Structure 1
Amino acid sequence: MGPRGIITIDGPAGAGKSTVARLLAATLGYLYLDSGALDRLVGWQAAERNLDLGDTAALSAFLEGLQPEVAADAQGFHLFLDGQEVSQVLREPSVSREASRVAVLPPVRDWVTARLRHLAANGGMVADGRDLGTVVFPQAEVTFYLDASLEISAANLDASLETRAARRRQDWQNADAPPSPEKVAMELADRDRRDATRAAAPMRVPADALVIDTTNLNPQEVVRQCLERIREIFPETAGLEMKTG
């Protein structure tokens, strides 16, 4: 694959996007961009400042003044404010809930989109999120959609949510009081509904995306399917071997 390639991975929370994106980035020697971290940063800082999200002028001024520093490589995506890394704080369950509140706001979507495009200006990156292949990087060479609930049968919905809840709890394992699996499943279902129906950049399956149901797959199995698609589009990657760490 050329040095300017862009790969996007969209889908609901708990579908395994971040793990798969990091593995793909390591395999390809690309940067890893976590778009959700930017949503969480905005949500966290807005809550810290008791920002009135309905005040458009105040929100715009807040976003204009929010200037994080970013360090990205194949293994991780790190955010800094005032010289201090805040990546671990952004993984707290309470911060994720704040992120879901602000992610639906058009000014926030514009702010996140602008920063992601700036970071990807030189290409060579794998990014995961919810609107990347449809809005942020519609020109991406390869797009994936990891699905663990929205397009499976009603009979399998509960099992899928359990799988996603377990994955999400792993993300929050260092929290002081991780939420119960039942609560996580409820929050995931509610987040899916909000993101799929929001006016600004709703979560959609990109037209040319490979859709993978990850419910019964481990990350390595998902990455293998992704690599098969990448090799179809870029035959020069045929000799790449998946890196597991």
Structure 2
Amino acid sequence: MASTSSTSTDRINIAIDGPAGAGKSTIARRVAERLSYVYVDTGAMYRAATWYFGQRGIEPEDEEKLLQMLPDLVIELIPEPDGQRVVINGQDATDEIRSIKVNAKVSRYAQVEGLRSRLVALQRQMALRKGVVMDGRDIGTTVLPDAEVKVFMTASVEERARRRFNEMKEQDQITMEQLIQDMARRDRLDQERKISPLRQAEDAVLLDTTNLNLEEVVNVIISMCRSFVRVRE
């Protein structure tokens, strides 16, 4: 596959936001590969925290206890040829953070202000040197409001559920109908939360991926980047 390279002086930051199942992580990872950039999956970081505290019986409502243990949480995102490994305090939890149980709770943990503040600070630090593709729900609005390229990806709830079903069907017993309901619930929680709700940044480009394949979406975003930097395939 052809690759796109850039020099240290023309690197930019790319923010990709959108609801659950919109394909953000897959697209962001491919864009990062094409540009030889660093990919940061912020959703995996919140999932990692959800799994970590859930394993210890600490609910998001027990904020005092959660924040007491927060300094002990160490999350590592390790690039792999087919994605990334998520290591939590030395334990590989790549599969565990994608479980139904984590799916059901991650939005609640993401509303804990102290946890969110720590992860946002870490994410901003990762982007200081530019050359980062970061995806999540509040990247363009909160984490990297000055990102040179901002994309808000979306798709129909049915299409998003279908994509997530294909990801999860070998891990958990779940039906499409359950996933559609879960997606709708997650959308509502993300949009209505008080801290960094899911919304499109004013200067972000809305990209509906319902009828687009992976490479088509990647090419659209790469084309957007060309308006900021000169790149060579």
Q: Normalising to structure 2: TM-score of the pair?
A: 0.90
Return the match for 2:106 from 99, 103, 123: 99
1:120 & 1:71 partners in 2: Cα distance? 16
Residues 1:198 and 2:193 aligned together: yes
Unmatched segments (≥5 aa) in structure 2: 1-5
Return the match for 2:84 from 61, 74, 77: 77
Unmatched segments (≥5 aa) in structure 1: 149-159, 241-245
1:87 & 1:206 partners in 2: Cα distance? 30
Residues 1:175 and 2:171 aligned together: yes
Residue 144 of structure 2 is matched in structure 1 by: 137
Q: CA deviation at 1:228?
A: 1.8
Q: CA deviation at 1:73?
A: 6.8
Preserved contact between residue 26 and residue 75 of structure 1 (Cα < 8 Å):
no
Within 5 A, what are the aligned runs for 1:42-191? 42-72=49-79, 76-148=83-155, 160-177=156-173, 179-191=174-186
Q: Aligned pair in 2 of structure 1 residues 56, 176: CA closer, same or farther (>3 Å)?
A: closer
Residue 20 of structure 2 is matched in structure 1 by: 13
Q: CA deviation at 1:2?
A: 5.1
Preserved contact between residue 63 and residue 112 of structure 2 (Cα < 8 Å):
no
1:52 & 1:163 partners in 2: Cα distance? 31
Within 5 A, what are the aligned runs for 1:225-236? 225-234=220-229, 236=230
Residue 25 of structure 1 is matched in structure 2 by: 32
Preserved contact between residue 93 and residue 175 of structure 1 (Cα < 8 Å):
no
Identity level (%): 37
Equivalent residue letter for 1:231: R
Q: CA RMSD in A?
A: 1.8
Q: Aligned pair in 2 of structure 1 residues 87, 77: CA closer, same or farther (>3 Å)?
A: same
1:46 match: secondary structure: helix
**More displaced, 16-25 or 44-53?**
44-53
1:193 & 1:33 partners in 2: Cα distance? 25
1:45 & 1:213 partners in 2: Cα distance? 33
Return the match for 2:210 from 212, 215, 219: 215
Q: Aligned pair in 2 of structure 1 residues 21, 7: CA closer, same or farther (>3 Å)?
A: same
Equivalent residue letter for 2:176: P
**More displaced, 59-68 or 129-138?**
59-68
Equivalent residue letter for 2:170: N
Q: CA deviation at 1:72?
A: 3.8
2:227 match: secondary structure: helix
Q: CA deviation at 1:31?
A: 1.3
Aligned positions, number? 226
Q: CA deviation at 1:78?
A: 2.6
Preserved contact between residue 40 and residue 90 of structure 1 (Cα < 8 Å):
yes
2:210 & 2:104 partners in 1: Cα distance? 23
